[in-house]
Structure formats: C-alpha cells, structure tokens
C-alpha cells in the first residue's frame, strides 16, 4: 500500500462544477503539499498546510491531522484548471516529500 | 528573487550511453537540493537529496548518481543508461527550516 493515496485517479468535470480531490496518508508528517502539474510537466506549489484550511482564489485546501486526510476543492471550475493535481507529504527527519500518484483533472467547456 | 534552471529540457539517448543533467539555483545560498523522477504512469519519486556541497543522500538503489560540486549546482549522472531510466526528471530546492519546495522546469529523458 502506498504511503500517500489520492482519489480519484482521473476526474472529468463540466465548466463551473465544484471539484474535490482527496488525499490520505499513513505516515507522520510535518506538512502536506498540494501541487499542480501542467501538461508540459512543470510543477507549481499550490498549498502547504499542516493544520486547518487555506484558500487561494477558487482553490481551498483542508487537512485533518487526526484522520490523516486532506482535500483540495476547486470552486467554479474552468478549463484552465485542467492539470494533474499531486498530494505530497513531508515526512522523516529531513522532511523529504512522499508523493501521491496524482489526480488528472479535465474540465470541459 | 530565486530561480531554478534545468537543462536540457528534453533528451533522447541510446541504451548504454552516459547521462548528465544539470540543475542550478539562483538567488539563494545553502539550499537543500533534490532530484526526483516521474516515470510514465507513476508518481514522483525522490532519487537524491543534498544538504550541502559534496553531501549526497540516495533514496533508492539505481544506476544513477548525483553530485553537488558547488553550493547551487546539482548534477544527475549515469555511466550507462537503461531503458527504465526514461522519465521526467525534476530538480527542486528549499530553504533550510522550511517545508516549501520549488521545482525546476524538468528534463524529459527518453532512453531508446
């Protein structure tokens, strides 16, 4: 079993829909990251959180440390949101990242 | 501001050939540096990290090696590439004592 599990693996939505991507992990962490990878491969860090909730524009990330679970929400989705969303946790003494396999999101106009 | 460069952007190499990928960071000093690989259909995997010049830690056994000859330079190498070395290679850096990592643009390597 992977230490970081994401669901769903693939997600297709219509423009305007509310989207949720889930991440569960099984190790002790110092922080959890949500990353966005566009088709060209470049990766952008969206959020880093260790408790509670963060919001940036139409993106919201939450984490429940007790349940070892995080969610990434996108409100009013848009085709430009189409990308792979990756959950990663910082674990161990060096805080190295352990990655989920990613969720491929496709938003149709 | 800080920037991270990787080159080349794409590379096609025959099996058995050597490899050298370079990563440089500007605008910061003494960063932690990382090499990741993303194989087709798989998640990102940490290959190497470095906390200082000449200090390299390997996370997985493989035929790749890494070196850090200068504070802001991180090199990924292989003497003989395997087909399984194909993938997308990402370099990243972070400040000590913080958790946020900043990723380079990546190198897409195809071994034929």
> If you write DSSP's letter for every residue of B28-96 in order, what string do you get?
-SS-EEEEEEE-TTS-EEEEEEEEETTEEEESS-SSEEEEEEETTEEEEEESS--GGG-EEEEEEEE-T
Mean pLDDT of chain B: 92
The reply to whether B100 touches chain A by the CB within 8 Å rule is yes
A38 vs B73, more confident:
B73
> What pLDDT is stored for residue A89 in this prediction?
93
Give yes or no for residue A96 having a pLDDT over 70: yes
Among A42, A48, A86, the residue with its CB nearest the CB of B99 is A48
A106, two tokens: 């496709």
A96–B46 CB contact, under 8 Å: yes
Band of residue B43 on the pLDDT scale cut at 50, 70, 90: confident
**Distance (Å) from the alpha carbon of B103 to chain A's nearest alpha carbon:** 6
Give yes or no for residue B26 having a pLDDT over 70: yes
C-alpha closest to that of B73 among B11, B16, B13, B29: B29
Contacts of B48 in chain A (CB under 8 A): none
Give yes or no for residue A5 having a pLDDT over 80: yes
Phi-psi region of A92 (alpha: psi -120 to 50; beta: other; left: phi over 0): left
Cis peptide before B8 (omega within 30 of 0): yes
**Mean pLDDT across the stretch B61-68?**
90
Q: Which of B90, B101, B108 to mutate to test the interface with A (most CBs of A within 10 A)?
A: B101
Give yes or no for residue B38 having a pLDDT over 70: yes
> What pLDDT is stored for residue B21 in this prediction?
97
Q: Which of B38, B86, B91 to mutate to test the interface with A (most CBs of A within 10 A)?
A: B38
> What pLDDT is stored for residue B97 in this prediction?
76
């Amino acid at each position: 079993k992977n230490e970081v599990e994401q669901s769903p693996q693939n997600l297709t939505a219509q423009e305007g829909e509310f989207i949720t991507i889930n991440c569960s992990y099984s190790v002790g962490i110092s922080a959890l990251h949500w990353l966005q990878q566009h088709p060209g491969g470049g990766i952008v860090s969206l959020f880093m959180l260790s408790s509670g909730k963060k919001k940036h524009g139409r993106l919201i990330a939450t984490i429940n440390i007790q349940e070892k679970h995080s969610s990434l929400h996108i409100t009013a989705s848009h085709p430009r949101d189409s990308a792979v969303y990756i959950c990663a946790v910082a674990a161990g003494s060096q805080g190295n990242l352990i990655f989920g396999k990613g969720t491929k999101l496709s938003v149709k106009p | 501001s800080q920037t991270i460069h990787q080159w080349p952007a794409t590379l096609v190499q025959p099996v058995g050939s050597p490899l050298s990928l370079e990563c440089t960071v500007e605008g910061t000093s003494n960063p932690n540096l990382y090499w990741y690989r993303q194989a087709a259909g798989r998640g990102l995997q940490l290959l190497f990290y470095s906390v200082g010049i000449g200090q390299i830690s390997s996370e997985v056994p493989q035929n790749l090696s890494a070196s850090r000859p200068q504070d802001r330079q991180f090199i990924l190498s292989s003497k003989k590439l395997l087909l399984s070395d194909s993938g997308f290679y990402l370099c990243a850096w972070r400040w000590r004592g913080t958790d946020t990592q900043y990723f380079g643009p990546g190198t897409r390597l195809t071994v034929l």
